[in-house]
Amino acid sequence: MSHPDGALVVEGLHVGYGEAQVLFDVHLAVPRGRLAACVGRNGAGKTTLLRTIAGFLRPRAGSVRYGSVDLVGRKPYEVARMGIRYVQQDKRVFADLTVRENLRLASYATGDWDWDVVFKYFPRLKGLLDRKGGYLSGGERQMLMIGRALLGRPKVLLIDEPTEGLAPAVVEQLGRVFEELKGQATLLMVEQNLPLVGRVADVVYAVKEGRVVAEITDPDAIRSGAVEAYL
């Protein structure tokens, strides 16, 4: 398979903590401007995969490349500055910082002080600028996290469980946002919500016990939820 410039390619990735190995020989490739979703049970190693790509974990073997650049061995902030932004799970925003300060921090890190892109996708944040992160609802936090990651024109977005525990209306809104973002960035997402995956994903990787057990590219299969068979 040839990978055009701008693809996120993971090859032969082995990752572990101490004695325990979590990921075994993971291969995946997300073409530029596409959305790939990782599905799998809790503990399958999906978050470990995203954390490794983002530079928080160092793989034992294997490579992570974006275009022609090798990401392995780079520090998380370097990876982030290259435009590969990681949106962590559990909706972690800075509880003690206001929305404005949260955004300013992202602007400071990326040098991009134009917040229009954030408000274009999440107009709601505009009215919450002076509210502290700790007082936001789960949906608002998720908006802030993704919004923060949009500053500095990201090339790749790694999004971990964005819709977990959110109201259907918010999930619906996030789904629309993901569909719009697809054209501009490459997305790799961990998501348990199969209907949402069926709607937005171009590729689905089923992860089981640290291995990719299936790569589904057929749009009909994705939409029909055939992924479920691999969980």
With CB under 8 A as the contact rule, the residue among 66, 86, 121, 178 that binds another protein is 86
Contact between 161 and 89 under an 8 Å Cβ cutoff? The reply is yes
Q: Does 95 bind another protein (CB under 8 A)?
A: yes
Only segment of 12-20, 30-38, 61-69, 74-82 that touches another protein (CB under 8 A): 74-82
Considering the complex, what minimum distance in angstroms separates the CB of residue 157 from another protein?
12
Considering the complex, what minimum distance in angstroms separates the CB of residue 57 from another protein?
11
Only segment of 12-20, 30-38, 147-155, 169-177 that touches another protein (CB under 8 A): 147-155
Q: Quick one: which of 92, 88, 87 has its CA closest to 134? A: 92
With CB under 8 A as the contact rule, the residue among 148, 156, 204, 227 that binds another protein is 148
Q: Does 153 bind another protein (CB under 8 A)?
A: no
Q: Does 147 bind another protein (CB under 8 A)?
A: no
Q: Does 105 bind another protein (CB under 8 A)?
A: yes
With CB under 8 A as the contact rule, the residue among 14, 16, 24, 97 that binds another protein is 97
Considering the complex, what minimum distance in angstroms separates the CB of residue 126 from another protein?
20
DSSP the chain: ----TT-EEEEEEEEEETTEEEEEEEEEEE-TT-EEEEE--TTSSHHHHHHHHTTSS--SEEEEEETTEE-TT--HHHHHHTTEEEE-STT---TTSBHHHHHHHHHHHH----THHHHHH-GGGGGGTTSBGGGS-HHHHHHHHHHHHHTT--SEEEEESTTTT--HHHHHHHHHHHHHHHTTSEEEEE---HHHHHHH-SEEEEEETTEEEEEE--HHHHHTTGGGGG-
Residues 117-146 that bind another protein (CB under 8 A): none
Number of residues binding to another protein, judged by CB under 8 A: 27
Q: Does 81 bind another protein (CB under 8 A)?
A: yes
Considering the complex, what minimum distance in angstroms separates the CB of residue 132 from another protein?
11
Q: Quick one: which of 23, 19, 59, 18 has its CA closest to 44? A: 23
Residues 34-73 that bind another protein (CB under 8 A): 54, 56
The residues binding another protein (CB under 8 A) are 54, 56, 75-77, 80-81, 85-86, 88, 92-97, 101-102, 104-106, 108-110, 148-149, 152
